[in-house]
Structure 1
Amino acid sequence: MNEEVNAPGWDAIDEAMVKIYGQQEPKHYGTLISYSLGGEDPLDGISVYKSELPMPHWHFVTYGFSELYEKESEDAEYSGYGFELTFKLVRAEDEEEPPAWAINLLQNMGRYVFSSGNVFRAGDYMDANGPICLDADTLLTALAFTHDPNLPEIKTVNGCVEFIQMIGITEHELEAMQVWNTLGVLRVSAEQMLGFVTDLSRDCLLQIPEIAAAVEQGIEQEGSNTGFLYVDQLHWEPGKSGWFKKESDRIQIGAKQAEIISKMLRGRIIKQKSLTLVSQTFRLVFEPGDSARYEVEEQSMMIRLNTAAATELSQKLVPQESEFELTSLPKLTFQIVKTHVRDREDNIVKTIG
């Protein structure tokens, strides 16, 4: 940092890291051209520390989600977005430089937040739709977020800043978090994922019987904490009126989403909680009720389900092309269509359904 620049937010983050690593000089990766001036990287910098416990790993911390320099936002309580991201990644014995892909991943998180305005909080998750490290043979295809246990919230002159740790997770672990909740899955996995250090080579933790049983128990007792889910493939087609009868209204769902929606329905409706699915063009709300019915308003639909209808729909939502109606909703057709999973270069890498 240039000593002439007044950066109290930056200094506060540095002070928090000194409490952990003392005088260790971190490897720092700054941004040459500011994002506001047309640069590609939204974060002003990323520092990386060597840590030995609970295993050798790199400890990354971002600079830029919070207000590093002068106070600009009107929110006096929080600094900027109110958080900085951290990431802990297993380090090989002979590794002297942190891998570039992890730095790029954190900058990608910055692009997501700066472009969408959506922030990360403990308990969030994100599907990466592919390996979090593109060149690695890894099962980790999603991310979970929790408080960094080594970095408590700090108060700066620009407001409070939380340190949110990003953790690489598998597809099935992501599903468990959606059907139950993120912090619950992390809690029952803590002994197997010490310090929540990301290890690209690890297997799915749900293969461990004790963890799988604890997750199932959590789902059964608490249901799903996810009440809102963005779904890429979700469309509605109103039924056309003919001479003698009106065709059924049709809801189209992608095969990739069908199975997780099935599990979430069980975890929400049967627990008397609603579930909202949203795509770019349509909003679908499932509500618990005494009887099954649905209402349509422009590009939005509300489906009320009793336990029998929720159970029937859950059983029929499988990741396979199909078309069906519910016994209690004969005028509404559900259609499951193929999902083509694409990589970042828009190539189809997998077809589901």
Structure 2
Amino acid sequence: MSEEEVQASGWDAIDEQMNRLYGEQEPKHYGTLIPYGLGGKDPLRGISAYKAKEPYPHWHFVTYGFSELYEKESNDPDYSGYGFELTFRLIRNADEEEPPAWALNLLQNMARYVFSSGNIFASGHYLDANGPICLEADSKLTALAFTDDPELPAIDTPNGRVEFLQMVGITADELEAMTTWNTNAFLHAAQEELPYYITDLLRDSLLEVPGIQNAVREGIERDGSSTGFFYVDQLEWEPGKSRLFGKAPAILTMGAKQAEMVARLLSARLLKRKELALISQKLQVILELAEETGLSEGDKFVRISLSEAAVRELSATLQPMEGEYKLSSAKGLIVRVNKTYIKDQDGQVVDTVG
């Protein structure tokens, strides 16, 4: 084996997996001219698109660049780079010869997010796109879920383990169902309607299927929610203050966009005796079920203990509407909801929640 082949061992390992599925098929490959490390705008070194025929024609994309494609650079001996590559399956017209450019851009956008934030994806994760995943399309798919690619098991490369995470386009109500239940359980329940988790921009919500509706309802009742951490971009805490005739309540502030989901998660987590962590860049708030309501505070950290009565009351009253929500069962706490302003990639406000 030549030195050049040794340096590309990570890339070769991905190719071997894809060749196992597609044999001698030559994929459409889209490389990056200027590497990200040298000032290029695209973090991925390349994306390949294969023509899959089963269960019906679709493009099967795979990325090159989340893992270490050449020599080992990271200090983690077990995983290669971020430990995964993304795949994406998109419905294809039988006579379609080139994959749509928006899908390639979407995969690069996912890479920009990971490379800039350091946050990685894993099976069971989800991401709200705050609009159609294809900006030019009139599509109900406004979010993404991540699960194991059904045909690509994880591989061990000379640089460490690499998992193949498939990105799946989902609707807003499907995102809510996954958040309040479980992403992989939802996808498993929907696999007959969504074989191989192929994304179709024109499809309707899977929750219109009675069998899937029932599976979600029963799953939430049985399991609660697997969402232990929920990102809230507008999250603030104001401790209670002493006054002449008593103490003012503490105030937990959040944005209207997340308020309704927080209300659902309170029941799906706390009433199953599971903690819920609300996370922002500056603050972490842990909510837990307890015999009595209580508060403890630290540096950029708050723990709120809620009685069962307080959980049920807050879950029932909290709405995605601007205002203050006072609890008869927890007089020392007020939840304040502010408007959420949805912005496009240029920073312009395109929608307001609350």
What is the TM-score with the length of structure 2 in the denominator?
0.95
In 1, the alpha carbon distance for the partners of 2:3 and 2:140 equals 44
Q: Report what 2:227 is aligned to.
A: 226
- 1:291 offset after TM fit, Å? 1.4
| Counterparts of 1:339 and 1:119, CA distance in 2 | 25
**Is the aligned partner of 1:106 residue 2:107?**
yes
Structure 2 counterpart of 1:292: 293
Query: What are the within-5 Å matches in structure 2 for residues 71-82 of structure 1?
Result: 71-82=72-83
Could you say which residue in structure 2 is the equivalent of 1:58?
59
The answer (yes or no) to whether the contact 2:270–2:276 under 8 Å persists in 1 is yes
CA shift, 1:3, in A, is 9.8
In the aligned structure 1, how far is the partner of 2:320 from the partner of 2:290?
A: 26
Counterpart secondary structure, 1:62: strand
- Whether contact under 8 Å (2:340, 2:353) holds in the other structure is yes
Distance (whole Å) between structure 2 residues aligned to residue 109 and residue 266 of structure 1: 31
The match for 2:255 is 254
1:51-82 deviation digits (Å, cap 9, x = unpaired) = 11111111100011111111112222221111
CA distance in 1, matches of 2:321, 2:339: 7
How far apart are the structure 2 equivalents of 1:268 and 1:90?
36
- Please state if 1:215 is matched with 2:216: yes
Name 1:22's counterpart in structure 2.
23
- Rate the CA distance shift 1:70–1:3 in 2: closer, same or farther, 3 A: closer
Question: In structure 1, what is the Cα distance between the partners aligned to 2:30 and 2:76?
Answer: 29
* Higher mean C-alpha displacement, 142-151 vs 298-307: 298-307
Matching residue's letter, 2:225: S
1:25/1:37 CA distance change after superposition, 3 Å = same
2:129: which partner in 1?
128
Alignment pair present for 1:151 and 2:149: no
C-alpha displacement of 1:94: 3.1
Alpha-carbon distance between aligned partners in 1 of 2:301 and 2:153, rounded to the nearest angstrom = 42
Root mean square deviation, CA, Å: 1.6
Identity of aligned residues (%): 58
Paired AA for residue 84 in structure 1: E
Q: What is residue 270 of structure 1 aligned with on the other side? A: 271
Match of 1:322 in 2: 323
Task: Decide whether aligned partners of structure 1 residues 3 and 96 sit closer, same or farther in structure 2, where only a CA change above 3 A counts.
Answer: farther
Matching of residue 32 in structure 1 with residue 33 in structure 2: yes
Post-superposition offset of 1:194: 1.0
AA of the residue aligned to 1:217: E
Task: For residue 271 of structure 2, give the secondary structure of its aligned residue in structure 1.
Answer: helix
Post-superposition Cα deviations, 1:134-170, rounded to whole Å, max 9, x if no partner, equal 1110111111111111111112111121111110011
Q: Please state if 1:9 is matched with 2:21.
A: no
| Residue of structure 1 equivalent to 2:336 | 335
Deviations 1:1-22 (A, max 9, x none): x995631111111111111111
Structure 1 residue aligned with 2:193: 192
Larger mean Cα displacement after TM superposition, 24-33 or 76-85? 76-85
Q: Give me the whole-angstrom Cα distance separating, in 1, the residues matched to 2:348 and 2:213.
A: 34
Alignment partner, residue 346 of structure 2: 345
How far apart, in 2, do the equivalents of 1:274 and 1:331 lie?
A: 20
2:206: which partner in 1? Answer: 205
Alignment of 1:137-148 (within 5 A): 137-148=138-149
3-state SS of paired residue (2:248): coil
CA distance in 2, matches of 1:150, 1:32: 30
Give, in whole Å, the separation in 2 of the partners of 1:98 and 1:166: 16
Q: Give 1:350 shift.
A: 1.9
Provide structure 2 residue ranges, at least 5 long, that are not aligned to the other structure.
none
Greater shift after overlay, 68-77 or 143-152?
A: 68-77
Per-residue CA deviations over 1:237-272 (Å, capped at 9, x if unaligned) read: 234544444432211121111111111110111100
1:213 aligns to what SS in structure 2?
Answer: helix
Q: Hey, what does 1:164 align to over in structure 2?
A: 165
Of 168-177 and 297-306, more deviation after overlay is shown by 297-306
Distance 2:181 2:240 in 1: 35
Mapped to 2, the partners of 1:221 and 1:254 lie a distance apart of: 29
Alignment of 1:85 with 2:86, yes or no, is yes
**Alpha carbons of structure 1 residues 75 and 297: separation in structure 2 relative to 1, 3 Å:** closer
SS at match of 1:60: strand
8 Å CA contact 2:85–2:165 kept in 1: the answer is: yes
Equivalent-residue separation in structure 2 for 1:286 and 1:46 (angstroms): 41
Q: What is the CA-CA distance between 1:121 and the residue it aligns to?
A: 1.3
Aligned-partner SS, 2:84: strand
Match in the other structure for 1:237: 238
State the AA in 1 paired with 2:319.
V
Query: Which TM-score applies when normalising by structure 1?
Result: 0.96
Structure 1 outlier segments of 4+, above 6 Å: none
Mean CA deviation greater in 27-36 or 332-341: 332-341
1-side partners of 2:294 and 2:347: how far apart? Answer: 39
User: 2:50: which partner in 1?
Assistant: 49
Q: SS state of the match for residue 345, structure 2?
A: coil
